[in-house]
Chains A and B, each alone.
Chain A
Amino acid sequence: MLQQLSAFVGHFHPLVVHLPIGFLSLLFTMELVGLVPRFRSLLQARWLTLAASFTSALASALCGWFLAGTSDYDTELLELHRWTGVGVAAACMLCLVFYWRNWLKLYRGSLCLTMFLLVAAGHYGGSLTHGNDFLTKQMPAELKFWVETAPSKKVDVDQAIVLTHLVQPILDAKCVSCHGPGKQNGGLRLDSFTAIQKGGANGPVIVPGDSGKSALVARVLLPPEESKHMPPAGKPQLKEHETVLLSWWIDSGASAESKVSDLEASASVYAAIEQVLGAPSLPEPLPWEQIQEQTKSLGKQLGIFIRPIAAAEPWLEVNASLRGKNFSDSGLALLAPVAGNIKRLDLGGTGVSDDGLKALGAMVHLERLDLKRTALSDKGLAHCASLQQLQYLNLYATSVTDAGLEHLKCLRKLRRVYLWQSQVKPEAAQRLAGRLEDKLFISRAQNQIKNLQQQINAAKIVVDTGVPLVQPAAASVPPKVVNKLCPVSGKPLDPNVTFSFDGQLIGFCCGKCCATFQKNPKTYLPKLEATPPAQQQSPEQEAPQQDLQQSDPQ
């Protein structure tokens, strides 16, 4: 009850908190303007404003205290906000006391202190609700140098050492305060590789190659309400990408020296790495205005289809397949000036050769590449190995072999590879798929589905009468034909030609007979009865048919 009451009061914090901000700002402005003799009279309102400031500051500090107890904010920031907020209320009380005792100098000093604390508390509070970077997110790039500290020396993604650059920083930020030089809860230290290997009082915390069995990851993945969940409730939690990196490091052997390029990283692991180290920068495309003329003249000169993929984008789509074998290496080489702008390239059926595909190296933004029905072999495919953005690759009817696919193993964004009528064996294609598949994403998504299924099951109502529900008679059982020979011609039946009449399914030898029958069924009905029925009908089946006939008004 008390808890509920405090939560209720706490939720008024965001409402009340704006009052002291307004009152105090007003008071401060009055004091400043009041320095000019003409506006002296403003100061008569000091008492009122001061009293209002103090009461509202006290009220919002109280509400805030209650609110802090109910929710799970970033603790570090929360503490800063809590104490600066309480500071505002305290400093405000000082102002009141000093003004009451008429110690004006002290009063003015403490008012300045109040304002300072007010700005700080407001900023921390804003960061709590809107996020740390809310203020500067939309800041123009030219102004950003004001707020940004000098960029730390950027580590190249492939050269980054997994433990040093990716894993240890996570442990340092989230674990070492309790498992480090200062404190060693559970006898565990996580501030160095040897310490991690050593483990804690309960044994080792990592099992290289199996994050599922490693306590370091398992404890993090426990539901937050479990007492064994780490970090403990109220402490800063691991973010999604941090868990991904931690599990990936352990799964790939938990070595101290491995670089990113040494390990296999699926797309979502790579996304997590890029979240920490930043995406590798690709050269910017040329602005459309700059290449507009060139694009048009290339289209004319080469007789190919070349144009921006969409309005207001610099990206180009190139289709040279309409030139067939008349388009060759020399044509491809001519695309060099706009190479950095090409996202989709169709060379299907053209006369390009393995060597000519060297030109692909400059097309770093390429997403779709069609090389079907070209003279491409493994050698030419090597030029695709650096196309990191590639999503679609068509190699149908080329002489690419299993060995050629090796060139594609690092293209993490690849989602469609067409290998029909190439020399690639299905096993090799499967291997490539297995390598590029984002297993981590798939297993996470499957877990989510499982959780949802459990929720669905939990939401279902169980009613049990102890008697199984009788399914309505399956109407989908196909009715059997009643005759053996065609009533029109007397020939054997075609199983595909049937017609239901008066609730009976009648078979015919051909469509023509069927049509003849329908024109004048009465003529042929006696014939039908003359032929012996193919199957004795059970009385249960007969009954509803009779009903049906009775309901027939004709």
Chain B
Amino acid sequence: MNEESFALNINRRTFLSRAAYGLGGMALASLLNRNASAALSWMGVTNPPHFAPRAKRIIHLCMAGGPSHLETFDNKPALRAIHGQVFPESYTKGQQLAQLQNTVLKARGPFVDFKRYGQSGQEISDLFPHIGSIADDICIIRSMKTEQINHDPAHAFMNTGSIVKGRPSMGSWLLYGLGAETESLPGFIVLTSAGKSGQQPVSARQWSSGFLPSKFQGILLQSKGDAVHYVGNPEGVCQSTQRQVVEEINRLNGILADDQLDPEIQTRIAQYEMAFRMQTSVPELTEFSQEPQHILDMYGVKNPGDGSFASNCLLARRLAERGVRFIQLYHRAWDHHSNIEPDMPVAARDVDQASAALIKDLKQRGMLDDTLVLWGGEFGRTPMGQGTGRDHHILAFSVFMAGGGVKGGITHGATDDLGYRSVDDVVHVHDLHATMLQLCGIDHKKLTFRFQGRDFRLTDVFGHVVKPIIA
């Protein structure tokens, strides 16, 4: 028995010996009293926020696999010039490599051209003409840096600021800190899609709530078919019967909660309530027939709900409109160790139009002002070739942000001549986390959770807010 549950038990004994009704009983009483349109039960621990929030919600378009920064947002003519030659050892000496160990390192120039887009003249590769069309709305960060060179730990680092298992994901932190502005949908929702190549698995631990109560964990919706399995009532069960069932289960759980003071029982009671409300909210959410054809065309959605990245982007907007706090889209298509020249353009085509459409759509609805969009992978790719592709690279990669109080039309930071290492205004993943929390009104040093005897935070003991990109 660990220290904390022991302490809990002591509390329970003393508490229950003196009170006829435990905490669970009270929770149940309030539950039974309220009607289906209930008040918000969780307003977050940062209530009120530390600062006036600029962003109310975050949409993370995670380009899983690690897109090459050299063919997205970081144009390196010097690398093009030494294409095929031996990569200068001064750059690479003593550095960690993933699969390129013990090989002769040869420079691989970008295989696409770059153009300047918009009034701001941001440089974006020809693979992303649609993102080019929103150049004035986005802030490109060219000087990202991470610490993990393999996919799963790098995703974990991007999500939790640590590779240790059991740490909460940033969506969970945000939900824990601020609560959601909806009672009928989970506050942290994940959608996945996959491209034709360069796929790497993404594990469910990426949206785990770790040591935070599990009601803050990300909920994965199915991108294809029913968003949630078995969300409809079984045949012969009407909504009122279903309600009775949920109330009875919650009553029984309440008795259990009365007996054992376990926060997970509270979570379970809350989840039954949530699931009941999702029986109506989810079908409404995925009712794509409300979307006019020109909106579908804008995103490039052929069949809404077909599991494509475009369809997920459209769903992300619908989730954002319904008060979901953190929406995370994984598109698994960017691990181009080989065949980068034929495959990366395909991956780019799958996400380019939809990513840009999401931002344009949020903008025309007046939602980009308070929605922060983050686009990027878990790391970048080497300026050295790996056969016909590029290897994993952690010292430099690019992401972009849009909306939510971030300046549009700027490029922040820079890498060296060959795109090997971030050198100017380096933005570490911890800095990115600190900035995202800041934009949501949270001081990253103050949002903590005590676990195993110490206070944890998303940025651990690191993180500096990247002030120059905040409008």
Contacts and interface: CB of A to CB of B under 8 A. Distances in A.
**Does chain A bind chain B?**
yes
B48 A499 contact: no
Nearest to B37: A303
Interface string B68-90: 00000000010011011110000
A498 B340 CA distance: 10
B52 interface: yes
B345 interface: yes
A514 interface: yes
A289 interface: no
A322 B342 contact: no
Contacts of B77: 475-476
Candidate in B50, B184, B369 with the most chain A CB atoms within 10 angstroms: B369
A319 B39 CA distance: 12
B183 interface: yes
A9 to B, nearest CB: 44
B303 interface: no
Contacts of A518: 338-339, 387-388
Nearest to B178: A307
Interface string B170-199: 000000000001111000000000001100
B343 interface: yes
Contacts of B114: 476
Interface in A123-175: none
B366 A418 contact: yes
Interface string B373-388: 0000000000000011
Contacts of B83: 548
Candidate in B37, B114, B323, B366 with the most chain A CB atoms within 10 angstroms: B366
A476 B113 contact: yes
B369 A392 contact: yes
B43 interface: yes
B49 interface: yes
Candidate in A301, A310, A396, A551 with the most chain B CB atoms within 10 angstroms: A310
Given A305-B181, A309-B49, A310-B49, A496 B342 contact: yes
B65 interface: no
Contacts of B341: 498-500
A323 B43 contact: no
Interface string B30-56: 000000011110010001111111000
B55 to A, nearest CB: 13
A326 B37 contact: yes
B48 A307 contact: yes
Candidate in B43, B197, B342, B441 with the most chain A CB atoms within 10 angstroms: B342
Interface string B304-340: 0000000000000000001100000000000000110
A310 B50 contact: yes
Given A321-B323, A511-B343, A518-B338, A305 B40 contact: yes
B364 A300 contact: no
Contacts of A475: 77, 80-81, 109
B454 interface: no
Given A310-B50, A418-B365, A518-B388, A323 B84 contact: no
Interface in A377-436: 392, 394, 396, 416, 418, 420
Given A396-B364, A548-B85, A300 B342 contact: no
A471 B254 CA distance: 77
A515 interface: yes
Contact of B323 (A309, A319, A499): A319
B39 A511 contact: no
Contacts, number: 115
A553 B388 contact: no
Q: Which size class do B's interface residues fall under?
A: 35 or more
Contacts of B48: 307-311, 313
A299 B40 contact: yes
B366 A372 contact: yes
Q: Which size class do A's interface residues fall under?
A: 35 or more
Contacts of B338: 515, 518
Contact of A478 (B52, B53, B113, B196): B113
A309 B38 contact: no
Contacts of B15: none
Given A307-B47, A309-B49, A500-B341, A322 B323 contact: yes
B283 to A, nearest CB: 15
A326 B285 CA distance: 18
Contacts of A337: none
Given A476-B80, A514-B339, A518-B388, A551 B366 contact: no
A169 B197 CA distance: 75
B342 A497 contact: yes
Nearest to B388: A518
A370 interface: yes
Contacts of A305: 40, 43, 181, 323
A394 B368 CA distance: 12
A299 B43 CA distance: 11
B163 interface: no
A552 interface: yes
B343 A418 contact: no
Interface string A445-482: 00000000000000000000000000000011010000
Contacts of B39: 299-301, 303
B243 to A, nearest CB: 18
A475 B104 CA distance: 24
B346 interface: yes
B85 A551 contact: yes
B111 interface: yes
A503 interface: yes
B345 A496 contact: yes
Nearest to B44: A307
23 contacts: A299-B43, A300-B39, A303-B38, A305-B40, A307-B48, A309-B48, A309-B52, A309-B441, A310-B49, A319-B181, A321-B323, A322-B183, A322-B323, A372-B366, A396-B365, A416-B369, A420-B365, A476-B113, A500-B111, A518-B388, A548-B83, A551-B86, A554-B104
A-B CB proximity, top 6 nearest:
A418-B366, A308-B48, A394-B366, A420-B364, A310-B52, A497-B342
Interface of B: 37-40, 43, 47-53, 77, 80-81, 83-86, 104, 109, 111, 113-114, 181-184, 196-197, 322-323, 338-339, 341-343, 345-346, 364-366, 369, 387-388, 441
Given A299-B40, A307-B47, A394-B366, 10 more contacts: A299-B43, A303-B38, A309-B49, A372-B366, A416-B369, A475-B77, A496-B346, A508-B342, A511-B343, A548-B85
Interface of A: 299-301, 303, 305, 307-311, 313, 315, 319, 321-323, 326, 370, 372, 392, 394, 396, 416, 418, 420, 475-476, 478, 496-500, 503, 508, 511, 514-515, 518, 548, 551-554
